[in-house]
C-alpha cells in the first residue's frame, strides 16, 4: 500500500507540474491582448485549438487512472490531493466557460 501511495503522489505531482503553469488558461486571454488587426478566422482557430486542449485535459481527468490516483490519495488523506482537486476544478470551470462561448 505504501508503494502505491508513493507512486500516486509522484504521479499527481507530475500532473500538477504540467498543469500549474496553466498555459492553456493564459493563452485564452492572449487573443484579447493582441492587436485588434487579428481577423475572425485567427480568433476562431485559436478557440478551436483551446477547446481541443481542454477536451484532452478533461478526458484525462475523467480517466480511470486519474480516478484511481485520486482515490488512493483520498484514502491516505494526502495534502497533495487538495491542490490537485483545486487545479482540476479550475480547469473544469475554464473548460465550461469556453464551451459556452
Domain membership of residue 60 (yes or no) is yes
Domain membership of residue 32 (yes or no) is no
Task: State the Cα–Cα distance between residues 38 and 93, nearest whole angstrom.
Answer: 27
- Structural domain of 94: 2-24+39-100
pLDDT, tens digit, 9 for 90 and up, residues 52-64 = 877 887 788 888 9
Q: Is 93 exposed, middle or buried (0-12, 13-18, 19+ CB in 10 A)?
A: exposed
Q: Is the pTM of this model over 0.85?
A: no
Domain membership of residue 82 (yes or no) is yes
pLDDT, tens digit, 9 for 90 and up, residues 8-63 = 888 888 887 777 666 555 555 555 555 556 778 887 887 788 778 778 877 888 88
Domain membership of residue 78 (yes or no) is yes
In order of 7, 17, 19, 81, 85, the CA distances from 76 in angstroms are 13, 21, 23, 10, 15
How many domains does the chain contain in total? 1
Domain membership of residue 64 (yes or no) is yes
pLDDT of the residue at 64: 92
Domain membership of residue 65 (yes or no) is yes
Domain membership of residue 53 (yes or no) is yes
pLDDT at 77 over 70: yes
Amino acid at each position: 500500500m505504501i508503494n502505491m501511495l508513493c507512486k500516486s503522489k509522484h504521479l499527481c505531482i507530475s500532473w500538477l507540474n504540467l498543469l500549474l503553469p496553466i498555459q492553456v488558461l493564459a493563452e485564452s486571454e492572449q487573443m484579447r491582448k493582441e492587436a485588434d488587426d487579428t481577423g475572425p478566422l485567427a480568433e476562431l482557430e485559436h478557440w478551436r485549438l483551446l477547446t481541443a486542449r481542454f477536451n484532452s485535459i478533461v478526458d484525462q481527468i475523467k480517466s480511470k487512472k486519474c480516478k484511481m490516483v485520486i482515490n488512493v490519495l483520498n484514502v491516505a488523506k494526502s495534502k497533495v490531493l487538495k491542490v490537485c482537486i483545486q487545479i482540476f476544478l479550475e480547469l473544469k470551470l475554464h473548460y465550461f466557460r469556453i464551451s459556452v462561448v
